[in-house]
Chain A
């Protein structure tokens, strides 16, 4: 993985930049010391590290705007960072760029039950939003497994999903507005406490833009009333295939569960070890199926799902009997990635999505690849929407394992594309999948996306080196090459 060549002038101007920033930021808001800067050198993807030029911790939008204006003027790169839990290296620093850390944006600004929304600064954690409204029976639907830690601004930038997004959608379907600072320092507001803004859907395109289009300082999210009744079921299976078929059949029956997750044996064991949720340890595959809604509907569906499970050979079935138990079941699932840290020093988490019907083909191939590379792989899977999370287990202290894991990962993602899927379901491209983009997109596809980037950030100083494998200058991309065309086919049918 190669990052853009750092600009020596910027590095040489470090002190000048510090001086400018110090005119309106306190010393506690600028991390300068080279040793402490190292703590910022990775996000949730530790495979790559880079010490940033500086870390800056603004406290309000005016400061963000001023920082960006100065960086724009001095042509300094800026890497926005929320909670640093990205698994694709979206917040990986640059040697010639500052990290704009949004950790101080941690206040909830407005809880508006009448309009069923919450306005929060972008550094507020996903879970904190739900916690702020749960005493009134509300919650914020997207719940990435990292929800305890990840920031809502990071969620917007990655368009994060979660275990409930089959039914309730991703971040993009659950936010109403943002305040955004452009690289020039200009502040714009998109959307608000209402549904359909006018004009182009900029809010939609900001969501999932991985910090390349603007810095999110404030987010307005929808909140939902908690369902009347929620139950989680555990269904254990002797193999992945039967579990996969069970999922297909549930959906074919017209049931959209609130969540439907699958874990394989390694993941079951690691998670159970942390959360003691009562996962069956003798199963090869475990499904967690959550049903919510009116009591009568839930009771009915539990029965249906239990029967489907049985017909697919489930060897274990249990329904949560209390909310506490249900939450424990989810706590185990949500801690599944880091819990694997207990059995392997490092993991590399993949995130491809496939058409669900391809599951068994992909799993079989993955087992072969696992043998080929000599690396174990654990599988955690958002089964309802086909989003795979194979976790390749390796030891970064061993010479070539990191490289092997990377290659293995790339093979898995190529496989996803080959069967009609995509490179990333929810973790984003970042630096991790950047160089695989051409496996999925043609040059035209990528150019169009980069031109959009140019509309927001013509100098390309906001989070460069992420998402796009090759950096084109905007001037070059913007050139219009006109080829001689002819009015096609006079034989074209007309009115």
Chain B
């Protein structure tokens, strides 16, 4: 597509990269068809092609973003379904990330929005604060109807979440009692350690069982995805650098950095790109990105798991966007689940987002709710008894709508290889 950047603009490396992304788009519109928000509203402005156009216009003019444009960029889930669809290889992710940062810098949101976004950016990445906030939210649940939609949505999510007890400490090491095949590091995830510790436990068990020692990585709270997606570019970069610094010395001993929350995995895999022109951190960042593996990806590659207690439950698999579109992993989890004996009911529109999308189900609660309901209806229409997923965010989102148990893939794999019954199944299975 034709672009209109000036020569001066193109001297800026960031803009030059955006221009090369934009030029690849041929405006074919294929991506609209698989964009969850376009499918809901049928408005070009809520589809990737329209958003690309709006971003192009905004960046070319270097102007202050107008509220209508911001509204439509905000409504993007960053699910990257469009990227999977695009035959022309348009790198939508980096375009929208750049634009979010651009908007954050130049656009003044309403006072409430600013406050709330800042709150999210400050609380979610910090397990301690997050824990406190959930407790608070649970107390406040009675007044939900009186609150603005964003707050109300957050409370609803909190009410549906269980705070995990006990904690694995950064730096702890879980040794394998099988023949050792290697050493990996596990990323606990900021929110996950608060409300999804059982997932980490299952991951550790499974890795140990497969012959890997597991080191709990000191994450300095978060991988930076939350700030990054809120457009808080500077803070995200700082956090990434802090992470890199604190991991630097340990890195060489790990065969892989394991992520079991696909949102975080996608972020880590992008560290290399984000810091590619940083003289100090670029090589470290790309080392991290190169070593990062989703747990399913890792297990699939290593073929080391023995399913000693295979299961035959009917499940359906909700592939998180960050997994299937962000990391392009679709076959691996399915194939592992199949090997574990599960009967997989195929899910219609499996490429469409459930509406969770990081902080999206808080900030864009109306669209998120529609997507959540749609997804739930489809999941339930498969006739499966269990919903499997690979990302805590999706599970929390869907829990609001579905009566079916939501279980992390890794818990199911653990269960089928002599691990305990997954928490969500305890009651009925």
Complexed CA–CA distance, A33 and B66 (Å): 9
Q: What are the 4 tightest A-B residue pairs by CB atom distance, in nearest-first order?
A: A103-B42, A341-B88, A335-B87, A396-B2
The chain B residue with its CB closest to the CB of A103 is B42
- Is there contact, CB below 8 Å, between B28 and A146? yes
The reply to whether the CB of B32 lies closer than 8 angstroms to some CB of chain A is yes
- Is there contact, CB below 8 Å, between A44 and B29? yes
Chain B residues near A396: list those with CB within 8 A.
1-2
Of residues 236 to 265 in A, which have CB atoms within 8 Å of B's CB atoms? none
Complexed CA–CA distance, A338 and B38 (Å): 20
Residue from the list A46, A83, A148, A275 in contact with B2, Cβ < 8 A: A46
Complexed CA–CA distance, A275 and B38 (Å): 24
22 contacts between A and B (CB under 8 A): A28-B41, A36-B45, A36-B68, A36-B69, A38-B57, A39-B51, A39-B53, A46-B2, A83-B29, A85-B28, A103-B42, A125-B33, A148-B33, A149-B30, A274-B87, A337-B28, A338-B28, A340-B88, A341-B26, A341-B28, A346-B26, A396-B1
Chain B residues near A178: list those with CB within 8 A.
none
B26-56 interface code vs A (CB 8 A; 1 in, 0 out): 1111111110001101111100011101100
How far does the Cβ of B150 sit from chain A's closest Cβ, in whole Å? 19
Complexed CA–CA distance, A43 and B28 (Å): 8
In this complex, how many residues of chain B approach chain A with their Cβ under 8 Å: the count is: 40
Chain B residues near A123: list those with CB within 8 A.
42
Complexed CA–CA distance, A6 and B53 (Å): 24
Given known contacts A42-B27, A345-B24, is B2 in contact with A103 (CB within 8 Å)?
A: no
In this complex, how many residues of chain A approach chain B with their Cβ under 8 Å: the count is: 47
How far does the Cβ of A28 sit from chain B's closest Cβ, in whole Å? 8
| Contacts across chains A and B counted by CB atoms under 8 Å | 129
Chain A residues near B328: list those with CB within 8 A.
none
How far does the Cβ of A341 sit from chain B's closest Cβ, in whole Å? 3
- Is there contact, CB below 8 Å, between A341 and B89? yes
Given known contacts A33-B66, A35-B68, A84-B29, is B45 in contact with A106 (CB within 8 Å)?
A: no
Residue from the list A105, A127, A146, A346 in contact with B42, Cβ < 8 A: A105
Given known contacts A57-B42, A341-B88, A346-B1, is B54 in contact with A39 (CB within 8 Å)?
A: yes
B residues sitting closer than 8 Å to A (CB atoms) are 1-3, 23-34, 38-39, 41-45, 49-51, 53-54, 57-58, 66, 68-69, 72, 85-90, 348
Chain B residues near A106: list those with CB within 8 A.
39, 42
- Is there contact, CB below 8 Å, between A149 and B33? yes
A12-44 interface code vs B (CB 8 A; 1 in, 0 out): 000000000000000010010101101111111
A265-289 interface code vs B (CB 8 A; 1 in, 0 out): 0000000001100000000000000
The reply to whether the CB of A397 lies closer than 8 angstroms to some CB of chain B is yes
- Is there contact, CB below 8 Å, between B28 and A149? yes
Complexed CA–CA distance, A40 and B29 (Å): 12
Chain B residues near A340: list those with CB within 8 A.
26, 88
The reply to whether the CB of A339 lies closer than 8 angstroms to some CB of chain B is yes
The reply to whether the CB of A104 lies closer than 8 angstroms to some CB of chain B is yes
- Is there contact, CB below 8 Å, between B44 and A342? no
- Is there contact, CB below 8 Å, between B54 and A38? yes
Complexed CA–CA distance, A83 and B44 (Å): 8
The reply to whether the CB of A101 lies closer than 8 angstroms to some CB of chain B is yes
Complexed CA–CA distance, A127 and B32 (Å): 13
The reply to whether the CB of A468 lies closer than 8 angstroms to some CB of chain B is no
- Is there contact, CB below 8 Å, between A347 and B29? no
Complexed CA–CA distance, A341 and B2 (Å): 12
- Is there contact, CB below 8 Å, between A39 and B26? no
Residue from the list B24, B25, B41, B89 in contact with A104, Cβ < 8 A: B41
Residue from the list A46, A103, A127 in contact with B44, Cβ < 8 A: A103
- Is there contact, CB below 8 Å, between B89 and A274? yes
Complexed CA–CA distance, A103 and B87 (Å): 22
The chain B residue with its CB closest to the CB of A46 is B27
- Is there contact, CB below 8 Å, between A104 and B42? yes
